[in-house]
Amino acid sequence: MSHQITAAVLNSAPGKLVLETLTLDDPGPDEVLIDVHYAGLCRSDLHEIEGVWPATCPTVLGHEASGVVRQVGENVSSLKSGDHVVTCLSLYCGECRFCISGRMSICANTSSLRKRSRPVLTNTAGQSVHPTAGLGAFAEAMVVHQHSVVRIPDRMPLAAASVLGCAVVTGVSAVFRSARVEPGASVAVLGCGGVGIAAIQGARLAGATQIIAVDTNASRLVDAVKFGATHTVQAGSVDTVEAVRDLTGGGVDYSFEAIGFSSTVEQAFAMLGPAGTATVLGLVPDSQPVTIRASELFAMEKRLQGALMGGNQFPTDIPRFVQYYEQGRLLLDEMLSAFVGLSQINEGFQMMISGGLTRVITDVRSLEL
């Protein structure tokens, strides 16, 4: 039995999202059907809408979601109908050399796990609709692989939970798992959107003594202090690299690039002190090559690395983040800047573009708010 759902579809890029009725297939043996409650608007969705990053159209975007399981496939034993869940695009097999060494965010078998005999989504013209990252959260419901889902306690508010699956897991896991920031370290975060704010909170939880927030937007910098930044630098008004070097007495121990421009990657590397590590979390288009002084890799033992989705282990990371939230140590409600209904999702992306917000969330079960 298939299901009729309303979803926000991107039919061509650059373009706008259009509400359509789609047919959603039943879950396969390893899949679960989830009724989506909330989905965060992420900059990578915007990259596909704007055509900066190639989109497989027609497509349903959205990969940061919370919801409730309605139905599970026959091989699914860890989830059942009624469970509250968060989705993450870091689908894992649990068997490849990356998964078994704890690097599940770069699982080698992701694409084969996403293969299905029938399309998961079909439009009224009978055309297959691509669910982004095997998810497609800007929809009333989605059918996803069980290894892209983690259960959360029923008492956890689903709106706050929605940001766990991308922004929070990327920013916080990058600090803990990829960079391994140690107590007493100095940290700079370039870009104070959802991922950057999560990295700032991760640095605070890791015990960094100096946390420098960098953004062009003054109101975002005011917010960054509420989340744990100890210093702020307004990019555009000062030389960011010099400002961070001055604040740290010669260079920062860890920097995180959470925007996705080659220029900010170059700054993140340049502002490091000796033995510093720059971690790139932003999606830099291939059209933007990065130029660094390679002699600093050798002579100063600086490191430039990337972390896909923060190098997370989301099935264990996200339940820990829930505990931090419940202890008041990870601020999630404060990250939810604005809510829009599903029919207002293009306005939500406009709000993101106009700046100053941490995360815009779609309340998928309402058309308008």
> Do 276 and 302 touch, CB atoms closer than 8 A?
yes
> C-beta of 59: minimal distance to Zn ion in Å?
15
> C-beta of 103: minimal distance to Zn ion in Å?
9
Contacts to Zn ion from residues 131-170, by CB under 5 A: 166
Q: Return the structure tokens found at 87.
A: 């989705």
> C-beta of 366: minimal distance to Zn ion in Å?
22
> Do 186 and 252 touch, CB atoms closer than 8 A?
yes
Among 19, 52, 96, 159, binds Zn ion (CB under 5 A): 96
Part of the chain binding Zn ion (CB under 5 A), chosen from 91-99, 302-310, 319-327, 358-366: 91-99
Determine the size of the site formed for Zn ion (CB under 5 A). Answer: 8
> C-beta of 94: minimal distance to Zn ion in Å?
6
Site string for Zn ion, 258-287 (x = CB under 5 A): ------------------------------
Name the residue nearer to Zn ion (CB basis): 44 or 201: 44
Chain centroid to CA 81: how far?
26
Part of the chain binding Zn ion (CB under 5 A), chosen from 49-57, 95-103, 256-264, 361-369: 95-103
Among 99, 113, 174, 272, binds Zn ion (CB under 5 A): 99
> C-beta of 47: minimal distance to Zn ion in Å?
10
Sign of CA dihedral 45, 50, 52, 53: positive
Name the residue nearer to Zn ion (CB basis): 166 or 229: 166
> C-beta of 41: minimal distance to Zn ion in Å?
9
- Decide if residue 86 touches Zn ion (CB under 5 A): no
Contacts to Zn ion from residues 34-53, by CB under 5 A: 42, 44
> C-beta of 327: minimal distance to Zn ion in Å?
25
- Containing 212, the helix (H) or strand (E) segment is strand 210-215
> C-beta of 125: minimal distance to Zn ion in Å?
29
Name the residue nearer to Zn ion (CB basis): 191 or 276: 191
Residue 53 to residues 151, 187, 314, Cα–Cα distance (Å): 31, 29, 25
Q: Which residue pairs from 243-250 have beta carbons closer than 8 angstroms and sit at least 24 positions apart in sequence?
A: 244/188, 244/212, 244/214, 244/271, 245/271, 245/273, 247/210, 247/212, 248/186, 248/188, 248/210, 248/212, 248/273
Which of 267, 269, 277 lies closest to 239, judged by CA?
267
DSSP 123: -
- Decide if residue 93 touches Zn ion (CB under 5 A): yes
Part of the chain binding Zn ion (CB under 5 A), chosen from 4-12, 105-113, 198-206, 230-238: 105-113
State the DSSP string of 238-299. Answer: B-HHHHHHHHHTS-EEEEEE-S--HHHHHHHHHTEEEEEEEEE-S---TTS-----THHHHH
How many other CB atoms are there within 10 angstroms of residue 79's CB atom?
Answer: 17
> Do 164 and 241 touch, CB atoms closer than 8 A?
no
| Helix pair angle (240-248, 262-270), 10° resolution | 30
- Decide if residue 106 touches Zn ion (CB under 5 A): no
- Decide if residue 72 touches Zn ion (CB under 5 A): no
- Decide if residue 107 touches Zn ion (CB under 5 A): yes
> C-beta of 99: minimal distance to Zn ion in Å?
3
Residue 365 to residues 38, 67, 181, 343, Cα–Cα distance (Å): 8, 10, 39, 10
Part of the chain binding Zn ion (CB under 5 A), chosen from 74-82, 98-106, 222-230, 249-257: 98-106
> Do 244 and 221 touch, CB atoms closer than 8 A?
no
Contacts to Zn ion from residues 168-197, by CB under 5 A: none
Name the residue nearer to Zn ion (CB basis): 107 or 208: 107
> C-beta of 317: minimal distance to Zn ion in Å?
15
Name the residue nearer to Zn ion (CB basis): 44 or 178: 44
Residue 310 to residues 49, 166, 330, Cα–Cα distance (Å): 23, 9, 17
Judged by the rule CB under 5 A, the positions of this chain that interact with Zn ion are 42, 44, 93, 96, 99, 107, 109, 166
